[in-house]
Amino acid sequence: MRALNIITLLLIIVGGLNWGLVGLFQFDLVAAIFGGQNSALARLVYVLVGLSALWQFIPLVRSFNDGQVSAERNRR
C-alpha cells in the first residue's frame, strides 16, 4: 500500500507540474513527450494521473475522520 501511495503522489506531482506548464506557457509536457494529446500513451498518463488523484482522496477523507487535519491546524 505504501508503494502505491508513493506512485500515486508522484503521478499527481507530474500532473500538477504539467498543468502549471500549460497555464504559464501553454505547453503540455506530457503531450510533447508522448506524441500529442490524443496519443495512446499521453491519454494513459492523463488517466493514471486522474486515478491517482481519486486514490489520494481516500487518505484525505480519512484524515478528516481521524482528526489529523484539525490537530495540524492547531499546531504552532
| Domain-wise residue ranges, the chain | 2-73
The confidence score (pLDDT) of residue 64 equals 83
pLDDT tens track for 16-40:
999 999 999 999 999 999 999 999 9
In order, the DSSP letters of 1-22 are: -HHHHHHHHHHHHHHHHHHHHH
Cell numbers for 58, please give them: 481516500
Cell numbers for 30, please give them: 506530457
Q: How far apart are CA 8 and CA 14, in angstroms?
A: 10
Q: Rounded mean pLDDT of 41-51?
A: 97
The pTM of this model reads 0.78
Q: Please, which pLDDT band fits residue 70 given cuts at 50, 70 and 90?
A: low
The confidence score (pLDDT) of residue 41 equals 97
Cell numbers for 36, please give them: 500529442
Q: Rounded mean pLDDT of 56-63?
A: 87
